[in-house]
Amino acid sequence: MPSVFEQVLDPANRADPYPLYRQLRTTPVTREPDGSYVVSHYRDIVALLHDPRVSSRDALTLRGFISTDPPEHDRLRALMNRHYGPPATPARIARMAPDLLAVVTGLIDGFTGRTGVDLVDDFAYPLPVTAICRLLGVPLDDEPRFHTWADAIVEGIGPQATDDARRRADIAFADLARYFTGLLDTHRHTPGDDLLSAIITDPDVRDAMSPDELLANASLLLIAGHETTVNLITNGMLTLLRHPAALERVRHDPDFVILTVEELLRFEPPVHILVRRALDDVDLDGTTIPAGATIRLVLAAGSRDPDHVPDPDRFDPDRHDPRRPDFNARQSEHLGFGGGVHHCFGAPLARLETQIALTELARRLRNPRLRTDPPPYRPNPVLRGPRNLPVVFDGIA
């Protein structure tokens, strides 16, 4: 009999893993047959995300500061942050809003004359790719090349990844680093108005970050900004089409879309599981996780933990509204962007893109409907989302 977590990994359960997460939470910390530990309660996950005995080093196939620990992590993140802006509202991201709206408008204009599209391939994939390319100064024409590398890297993430998949991910990371070597050279000589140009021409950053570190961090940003926002936009439209009253409010109320995106990060998050390594014995909820063990933090189970948030299986954007008399800031927090020192670097961009995307889709698609529910899902249990989202409509406004 497979363990509950092994059932989570089974692609057959990808469309609705939430009943399994409920089962997982009946035992807050489980030891799996492979010796790893699975943690599913909100407060335990938050505790581990802030615990210096819990490491991100060698835990991931990803490179760059996401797989380092403090103090090295904080040094690298601060350097990458220098030309980004204040954490919550980076000036560089705010400046991108008109551009993002133009990209979204162009993509939806492309639906003219059609009565159905695949919201993944025709919309949710091209938007974040364009956005991250603009932020970093990566030519969009190179997309077909790094698309293949990005796919290989994502396949290598997570407990389901075979040794072969991890090897392919390593090779793809090396290819991507080679690609960035050339691109950074170009930016050094002819800088543009983008983050990588700003970093590469800043002598303080160049002195403080080795060329290898810079390549790894540039690759990290490209990949992290590539594969996650696709799923937030797709999960977002899927959820709104299942909740027509919310879709109707998104059409008219710019404040409501902000709450909606927050609730989506809790209710249907793109990142379901994070991996860490115990550097020391860690006692948690009556279990000792031994030094050296792999720890899997099931973020998506923690964000629906009824000990943290009331009525967790209800999609309720209003729960994030600070103007409501029963608003509770602590309960409104979720694990959609992780937590602790590794809290998502790209969160402001991901939020802005998804807010613009959902608003414009809601405003402009006439009478949108799902063609199939549930849609087909990608097999990946860590970065979870539909492979396709076929949507039909009566035209474009």
Residues in contact with ligand HEM by the rule CB under 6 A: 56, 65-66, 77, 132, 220-221, 224-225, 228-229, 232, 269-271, 274, 336-338, 341-342, 344-346, 349-350
CA-CA distance, 310 to 93, in Å (whole number)? 33
Q: Pick between residue 275 and residue 393 the one whose CB is nearest to ligand HEM.
A: 275
Q: Report in angstroms how near the CB of residue 254 gets to ligand HEM at its nearest.
A: 19
Residue keyed to tokens 């990608």: 378
Q: Which two tokens stand for residue 82?
A: 């220098």
CB atoms within 10 A of CB 233: 29
CA-CA distance, 186 to 226, in Å (whole number)? 22
Residue 151: is it exposed, middle or buried by C-beta count within 10 angstroms (0-12/13-18/19+)? middle
Residue keyed to tokens 């020192």: 341
Do 150 and 226 contact (CB within 8 A), yes or no?
yes
Q: Report in angstroms how near the CB of residue 264 gets to ligand HEM at its nearest.
A: 9
- Residue 81 Cα to chain centre, angstroms: 18
Q: Pick between residue 125 and residue 393 the one whose CB is nearest to ligand HEM.
A: 125
Q: Report in angstroms how near the CB of residue 176 gets to ligand HEM at its nearest.
A: 14
Q: Pick between residue 345 and residue 377 the one whose CB is nearest to ligand HEM.
A: 345
Q: Pick between residue 29 and residue 66 the one whose CB is nearest to ligand HEM.
A: 66
Residue 314's region, left for phi above 0, alpha for psi from -120 to 50, else beta, is beta
Q: Report in angstroms how near the CB of residue 228 gets to ligand HEM at its nearest.
A: 3
Do 349 and 135 contact (CB within 8 A), yes or no?
yes
Residue of closest CB approach to ligand HEM: 346
- Residue 382 Cα to chain centre, angstroms: 10
Q: 3-class SS at 29?
A: strand
Q: Report in angstroms how near the CB of residue 265 gets to ligand HEM at its nearest.
A: 6
Question: Which H/E stretch holds residue 288?
Answer: strand 287-289
Q: Report in angstroms how near the CB of residue 351 gets to ligand HEM at its nearest.
A: 8
Q: Pick between residue 61 and residue 362 the one whose CB is nearest to ligand HEM.
A: 61
Q: Report in angstroms how near the CB of residue 166 gets to ligand HEM at its nearest.
A: 17
Q: Pick between residue 60 and residue 247 the one whose CB is nearest to ligand HEM.
A: 60
Q: Pick between residue 357 and residue 393 the one whose CB is nearest to ligand HEM.
A: 357
Q: Where does 49-100 show beta strands of DSSP type E?
A: 54-55
Q: Pick between residue 66 and residue 119 the one whose CB is nearest to ligand HEM.
A: 66
DSSP string across 131-142: HHHHHHT--GGG
Q: Report in angstroms how near the CB of residue 260 gets to ligand HEM at its nearest.
A: 13
